[in-house]
Structure 1
Amino acid sequence: MRGLLLGAAVLAMVPMLALADTTAPPLTIQQAFDAATVLQDSGKYVDALAAWEKLEPRVANKPRSLAIVRLRKGLALYRLDRRDEAVIATRAALEVLPATEPALRDDRIQGYNVLAKVAEASLDYATAADNYRRAEALAITPIEHLGALRGIVETETFFDSDAAVADLARVQPWLADKSVENVSRAALKRVESQLLLNRGDFAGARTAAGEAVKLLGGLTSRTDLNDVAARSNYAIAAMMLGDRDDARKYMAYTGAGRVQSGSFDPAVQMTPPDCGGDSDLGPDDTAVVEFSIADDGAVSYAAPVYSSRGGKVALPFARAVRNWSWTPEQVKALPAFFRYRARVELRCSTEFPKPSLLDYLDKRLSKWLDERGIDTPLKRDGADAALLADERRELADLEKAKGADALALVPILHVLSRNSVLQIEEAARLAQREAAILTANKAPAMARLSADLKGWQSKNSDSWGGRRYFRMLEAAASNGPYAEDPEARAVLRLMMSDASRGFDKERSLVLLDQVATDAALPAEDGFKVGALIRKASILTQRGDLAAAKAVYAQTGTTAEQCSLIDSAPRLVGVGGTFPDEAKMWGFEGWVSVQFDVGADGRTINQRAVVSYPPFIFTKAGDDTLKTARYEKAFRPDGGIGCGGVTQRVRFTMRN
């Protein structure tokens, strides 16, 4: 304390001299390296990254030192989830770092592990396995060997399971070392169970998963992510062996299907992969995928667990899950378990594209923008939750560069307002801005209508649909620019007809007649055809088949064209029961069921495409939709009324 006081007194008497004397000399390169290492080892990755980046130019003329700094920087970037940058820094370092220098062995292992983990997270399993092999070639200790072998076997399971079997055999000598902890032993047993599941050896998979469960302490109420994975693998194997009671017992001990507080809702953006494709997915293929949900509602991690037709088939299912999104409100309600390690059962989708009225409007807007040199797409691929931040930045950048009312803002406003994780009020405000810009630039009615339809939602955010929606459309179709444009008027009347089918079929028919007889539209106009097909279906529902046939004859369409142009079927009623087995274990869950609707309104070809928890409610979801009845539709051959319909079914325990 005395020294501190003396220093303060000197500073008071000679402030300029004291300031010069206490200025710290710059750190040497070694001191700066050591300081950055301390930050990184303490988990302060933001500060560590800044320190490495500050050090880079100081060692730019020393290739070996620069490579070491970049390796450490790559690890910091990886920990901050800046994966692409981590790969660039790490690859650049490994290309320069001497391969034969023993002192750099740990750094090289770390670098290959970073590359492997990034590739594994990206579902590039071949690249991941290659980098794990490079890390294993440098390994000395049992834990280094086992860590690399875990990655090799787990990734090879899904592209070369024969190689995975051979590599798994190399695990045993390292497991003989008594220093290997049970958690590491359990991880290898879990990987073994996963490999055997995908090779169809369900008995062996159950045995391996059971050993993993024992190594982790057995079936206790304590559950961490390691327990969840091992118990779930056991449950899948038992289910495949037909031992449903054993499967449900282990599933119950994962915590899946048992929400104590909050809720685990289906994603707002949740589409399975299409059947076919490069992997030749078939309707009977089944997969289980594990995933985690980030704070923004995007899937931060997705990995295949099991596929009914071998590991390769599982990867497209995991890639599809990476494009799912939950809203911020849903994320807040998610218990931690469902945020960090949930599993779903999946099948591919047989749904085929069916153009809607809104799709047609978007094409008209896109064409009008293209004619003015603005060709930004109005739709984007990927997870809405993951895209949202970049879309907001893009809008801000365009506003700064072009102005808040520039026509160039229309595409990004269009994309943003249709992002599925936005609240309806914000989406409506963005669409209203889009509509105002289009109006100011004298866009034609058909190019503006899509934006207005979205913007009007704010007026009906609590009841988007039904009578209030009908009245809003009616006002637009009766007055103003849309009433004066034949195509826009037809679109609004078709939408009004679809909206009123549930509460006023007579009015619905009148609106269809107005479209079909509108002299301002060409005789073979697609909107007129759509109106006639809808009218034929309503007449069929009334039992007037002769009139339906007469109306349909005016369309000149085939049965296939008819199903594409007609409106979506309206659900009339559905039954279904809660499965007794699930009730006994206290499971809750949900299923997305895909099916076709016959012209008679009955459902056929029911098949669950997304089920949570896996295998628990799949059959019950299918059975529920077998009881569903939709409005009848007129088809000249009496065939499919609508193909590839998807309906979600929730199974909830009532208190």
Structure 2
Amino acid sequence: MRIKTIALLSAGVLAMAGGLVPVGAQTPPPSTTVQQDFDAATALDAKPDRTASLAAWEKLETRTKAGSRSRGIVLVRKAPTLFALNRADESVKAARAGLALLPADDASLAEDRTRAFLILGQVATDTLDYAGAVTALQQAEASALTTGDKLGAMLALATAQVFIDPTAAAATLARSDTLIAKSKLENSVAARFARERTLLKLNTGDIAGARASALQAIRLLGGLETDKVDIMDASARSDAAIAFLLGGNAEEARRYMAYTGAGRMVKGSFDPAAEMRSPDCGGDAGLKPQDVAVVEFNIASDGTIDQAVPIYAAGGGQVALEFARAVKGWSWPAEKVQAIPAFYRYHVRVEMRCSTAFQRPSIGDGLDGVLEQWLSSKGVTVAPEPVGPQAAALAGQRAELASAAAQSPDGLRTLAAIYRLTSNPTVAREERAALYARALAIAKANDAPPSARLTFDLPGRVDAVTDIWKPGVFERTLTPMVSEPVYANDPQARAAIRLIMVDGAVARTRKSEKNDTAIVTLRQVADDKALRPNDPLRVGALIRIASIEERNGQIDAARATFASSGLTANQCAIMDAPPKMVSKPGSEAFPMEAQRWGFEGWTQVQYDIGADGNVVNQRALLSYPPFIFSEAGTKFFTMAKYAKTYRPDGGLGCGATTSRIKFLLPESARRGS
């Protein structure tokens, strides 16, 4: 279950040092003292009624003097409650405002400063701004005075660093080892550190080390035979299963996965339905067909994704985070969610790859190209993208910005330095937003073309909003840009804005929804006479329209739209007469190991069909439980046979067809009889 309040490893809450300072005389006089109100609000924090807790802190806020340290303490204490109520933007503002009022040299406020940095780190982690989480949690560790508070900050910090800067994550865990050696931790807490070490080793290729730390975490939690199994147990066992699988021991992998409960529901089922979709390959994320990730997520009672976190990725930390962002956009009808037992909703892991069906070029790359060409025309060279870990390049990029700004704060060299720095994924969201605003001002002052300005303006507006994943927020953030004269009068700029608006909106809607508004917006791009017929933005709009039409079941329309893009329409999903399956394997396709362990699950497979009817290039897009049925699913379609298709060029019969296969046990096996 998602924990929305900050939990430090040390117990207890400090009373406000030096007492609380009231605003002044009030009429009529309050029936309680400020300290009594503080104690009452603190007590409410320990109860589940977050609305009552927020009301108590807001009442107390009005009784403290504006600009006082007491007001700062109240704001810091209010921030976690706002976050628990799904008001992330307000939570960040409260924490930042509170921090600004806490004197840095007042040691009695160390816990409150730590609280503020922890909630900022948690909000950033929850919104998948892991770079921002690293910045905040480093400050939390530095401000913490007690061993428990430091360990709490280190644990959260390592979680983010695994996917941002693995070397730094290893250093953080080493620091925690020093403190742990001097402390006595509960086994459950020690297991959390062992789990973080497992994820670090999994994602850095140390499979043997990952296996050892995963088994250590399981032992600390009571072993495989413990009577009570919670989400931490399931996660640790799933970690071990992944480590065994990557190490080539499929039998042990299935054994540990069996002990997670995944794919073994006696009542209800985890049905992928039509709502789960893989992100498209390419695009601004640059996902590649060979990239694979495991993402863990929680499904809220209303069917939305409460939280998504990366677990493992072959392709790097940014790949892991991009797949997690795709999961954040999934949702299910609430009535279907109710059929899934709560334990399974709170701990779902899927294996993911990107789809090649509607690959698209990156809009951001096109805008970046315009900016770089314009800077080059002004005699300014942009530093090349760094080779190797992005975190290692950060210091040099900051130094270049400082040097350029010292020479000319508003010069184009400074603009180029900001551009390169903001492209580094280890820069925190809030810092990026400030840098984008600074760069946009320089671009405007130097009369940069509209598309070049968008390199900073588009992501700057998105990064300025913490709650960007809330329904409608993304669209409301970008929609005004289309009407702003500087962009409205430029065909490339207005097209780019509309495409990005649609991409963000579609990623946040259910797959079963029609997306009629998105098609209207895309048609404005496709029908824009100011764009060349083969303009990449126009082609991109047509590809997106075809993708939505295909998903809506409008196959004829999708085929016509795709054909008008000028690309070869050999996708199976939109062909006039896709090849028919003429033979398929039977029950032998069910992997015996999974049957022996009592697994059920499913996999979504994408593959091409050759003109000879044979399946080629098969790959699992989505699999649940991770890795259990991926191989069996791809083998199923390898053994399938389709009708032959005549192709004059000898090419594919059709490409990128997607099929889902469920692996179900007989009812008697499910009941254990």
Q: TM-score, normalised by structure 1?
A: 0.65
Q: Judge conservation of contact 1:235–1:251 (CA < 8 Å) in 2.
A: yes
Alignment match, 1:590:
602
Distance change in 2, residues 1:288/1:558 (3 Å) = closer
Alpha-carbon displacement from aligned partner over 1:225-280 (angstroms, at most 9, x marks no partner)? 11111111111111111112211111111111111110101153222233335554
Alpha-carbon displacement from aligned partner over 1:548-575 (angstroms, at most 9, x marks no partner)? xxxxxxxxx9992566973362643552
The answer to which of 111-120 and 299-308 deviates more is 299-308
Alignment match, 1:90:
95
Following the alignment from structure 2 to structure 1, what is the Cα–Cα distance between the partners of residues 286 and 172?
28
Alpha-carbon displacement from aligned partner over 1:152-194 (angstroms, at most 9, x marks no partner)? 2121111111111122111112112343111111100010011
Q: Which has the larger radius of gyration?
A: 1
Which residue, 607, 624, 635 being the options, matches 1:623? 635
1:302 and 2:305 matched: no
The DSSP-based 3-state class of the residue aligned with 1:297 is coil
Distance change in 2, residues 1:201/1:40 (3 Å) = same
Q: How does 1:35-54 map to 2 (within 5 A)?
A: 35-54=40-59
Deviation at 1:103, TM superposition (A): 2.0
The DSSP-based 3-state class of the residue aligned with 1:263 is coil
Distance change in 2, residues 1:279/1:262 (3 Å) = same
| Overall identity of the aligned pairs, in % | 46
Q: Judge conservation of contact 1:112–1:135 (CA < 8 Å) in 2.
A: yes
Distance change in 2, residues 1:387/1:179 (3 Å) = closer
Which residue, 116, 120, 127 being the options, matches 2:132? 127
Instruction: For 1:302, give the aligned amino acid.
Output: A
Alpha-carbon displacement from aligned partner over 1:25-49 (angstroms, at most 9, x marks no partner)? 5434333333222222334321121
Q: Judge conservation of contact 1:569–1:630 (CA < 8 Å) in 2.
A: no
Alpha-carbon displacement from aligned partner over 1:347-379 (angstroms, at most 9, x marks no partner)? 22222269xxxxxxxxxxxxxxxxxxxxxxxxx
1:67 and 2:72 matched: yes
Distance change in 2, residues 1:34/1:563 (3 Å) = closer
Following the alignment from structure 2 to structure 1, what is the Cα–Cα distance between the partners of residues 577 and 78?
54
Which residue, 557, 562, 568 being the options, matches 1:560? 568
Instruction: For 2:634, give the aligned amino acid.
Output: D
Q: Judge conservation of contact 1:328–1:421 (CA < 8 Å) in 2.
A: no
Alignment match, 2:154:
149
Distance change in 2, residues 1:568/1:177 (3 Å) = farther
Instruction: For 2:100, give the aligned amino acid.
Output: E
Greater relative CO, 1 or 2 (CA 8 Å, sep 6+): 2
Following the alignment from structure 2 to structure 1, what is the Cα–Cα distance between the partners of residues 166 and 626?
23
Which residue, 627, 637, 640 being the options, matches 2:649? 637
Q: Judge conservation of contact 1:579–1:620 (CA < 8 Å) in 2.
A: yes
Distance change in 2, residues 1:643/1:344 (3 Å) = same
Alignment match, 2:489:
none
Distance change in 2, residues 1:304/1:61 (3 Å) = closer
Distance change in 2, residues 1:199/1:389 (3 Å) = closer
Alignment match, 2:104:
99
Alignment match, 1:472:
none
Alpha-carbon displacement from aligned partner over 1:377-436 (angstroms, at most 9, x marks no partner)? xxxxxxxxx877999x9xxxxxxxxxxxxxxxxxx9xx99x96488x9xx99x99xx9xx
Deviation at 1:99, TM superposition (A): 1.4
Alpha-carbon displacement from aligned partner over 1:618-649 (angstroms, at most 9, x marks no partner)? 11110112233445555332312322221111
Following the alignment from structure 1 to structure 2, what is the Cα–Cα distance between the partners of residues 390 and 258?
38
Distance change in 2, residues 1:277/1:164 (3 Å) = farther
Distance change in 2, residues 1:302/1:209 (3 Å) = same
Following the alignment from structure 1 to structure 2, what is the Cα–Cα distance between the partners of residues 165 and 123?
20
Alignment match, 1:569:
578
Following the alignment from structure 1 to structure 2, what is the Cα–Cα distance between the partners of residues 562 and 314?
30
The DSSP-based 3-state class of the residue aligned with 1:351 is strand
Which residue, 337, 357, 360 being the options, matches 1:351? 357
Which residue, 208, 222, 229 being the options, matches 2:228? 222
Instruction: For 2:653, give the aligned amino acid.
Output: G
Distance change in 2, residues 1:253/1:120 (3 Å) = same
1:231 and 2:237 matched: yes
Distance change in 2, residues 1:266/1:55 (3 Å) = same
Alignment match, 1:516:
none
Q: Judge conservation of contact 2:191–2:216 (CA < 8 Å) in 1.
A: yes
Distance change in 2, residues 1:572/1:123 (3 Å) = same
The DSSP-based 3-state class of the residue aligned with 1:593 is strand
Q: Judge conservation of contact 2:270–2:340 (CA < 8 Å) in 1.
A: yes
Instruction: For 1:132, give the aligned amino acid.
Output: L
Alignment match, 1:502:
none
Distance change in 2, residues 1:64/1:142 (3 Å) = closer
1:247 and 2:263 matched: no
Alignment match, 1:646:
658
Distance change in 2, residues 1:347/1:80 (3 Å) = same
Instruction: For 2:171, give the aligned amino acid.
Output: A
Following the alignment from structure 2 to structure 1, what is the Cα–Cα distance between the partners of residues 323 and 297?
11
Alignment match, 2:202:
197
Alpha-carbon displacement from aligned partner over 1:185-206 (angstroms, at most 9, x marks no partner)? 1100010011011111111111
Q: Judge conservation of contact 1:143–1:180 (CA < 8 Å) in 2.
A: no
The answer to which of 280-289 and 587-596 deviates more is 280-289
1:78 and 2:90 matched: no
Q: Judge conservation of contact 1:142–1:180 (CA < 8 Å) in 2.
A: no
Following the alignment from structure 2 to structure 1, what is the Cα–Cα distance between the partners of residues 45 and 102?
20
Distance change in 2, residues 1:420/1:310 (3 Å) = closer
Instruction: For 1:560, give the aligned amino acid.
Output: T
The DSSP-based 3-state class of the residue aligned with 1:171 is helix
Q: How does 1:379-528 map to 2 (within 5 A)?
A: 420=510
Instruction: For 2:594, give the aligned amino acid.
Output: A
Q: Judge conservation of contact 1:571–1:628 (CA < 8 Å) in 2.
A: no
Following the alignment from structure 1 to structure 2, what is the Cα–Cα distance between the partners of residues 561 and 282?
21
Q: Judge conservation of contact 1:268–1:327 (CA < 8 Å) in 2.
A: no
Which residue, 130, 144, 164 being the options, matches 1:159? 164
Alpha-carbon displacement from aligned partner over 1:586-620 (angstroms, at most 9, x marks no partner)? 11110010112234443221100111111111111
Alpha-carbon displacement from aligned partner over 1:514-549 (angstroms, at most 9, x marks no partner)? xxxxxxxxxxxx69x99xxxxxxxxxxxxxxxxxxx
The DSSP-based 3-state class of the residue aligned with 2:178 is helix
Following the alignment from structure 1 to structure 2, what is the Cα–Cα distance between the partners of residues 575 and 97?
68
Q: Judge conservation of contact 1:274–1:349 (CA < 8 Å) in 2.
A: yes
The answer to which of 27-36 and 289-298 deviates more is 27-36
The answer to which of 324-333 and 29-38 deviates more is 29-38
1:172 and 2:180 matched: no
The answer to which of 261-270 and 612-621 deviates more is 261-270
1:212 and 2:224 matched: no
Instruction: For 1:91, give the aligned amino acid.
Output: R
Aligned length: 469
Distance change in 2, residues 1:628/1:111 (3 Å) = same
Alignment match, 1:311:
317
Alignment match, 2:372:
none
The answer to which of 277-286 and 152-161 deviates more is 277-286
Q: How does 1:331-350 map to 2 (within 5 A)?
A: 331-350=337-356
Following the alignment from structure 1 to structure 2, what is the Cα–Cα distance between the partners of residues 200 and 620?
25
Deviation at 1:60, TM superposition (A): 4.5
Following the alignment from structure 2 to structure 1, what is the Cα–Cα distance between the partners of residues 571 and 146?
64
Following the alignment from structure 1 to structure 2, what is the Cα–Cα distance between the partners of residues 271 and 106?
43
Q: Judge conservation of contact 2:584–2:641 (CA < 8 Å) in 1.
A: no
Alignment match, 1:29:
34
The DSSP-based 3-state class of the residue aligned with 2:306 is strand
Following the alignment from structure 1 to structure 2, what is the Cα–Cα distance between the partners of residues 274 and 247?
29
Distance change in 2, residues 1:174/1:84 (3 Å) = same
- Which segments of 5 or more consecutive residues in structure 1 lack a partner in the other structure? 1-22, 355-385, 394-411, 435-463, 466-490, 499-525, 531-556
Following the alignment from structure 2 to structure 1, what is the Cα–Cα distance between the partners of residues 511 and 567?
37
RMSD after superposition: 3.7
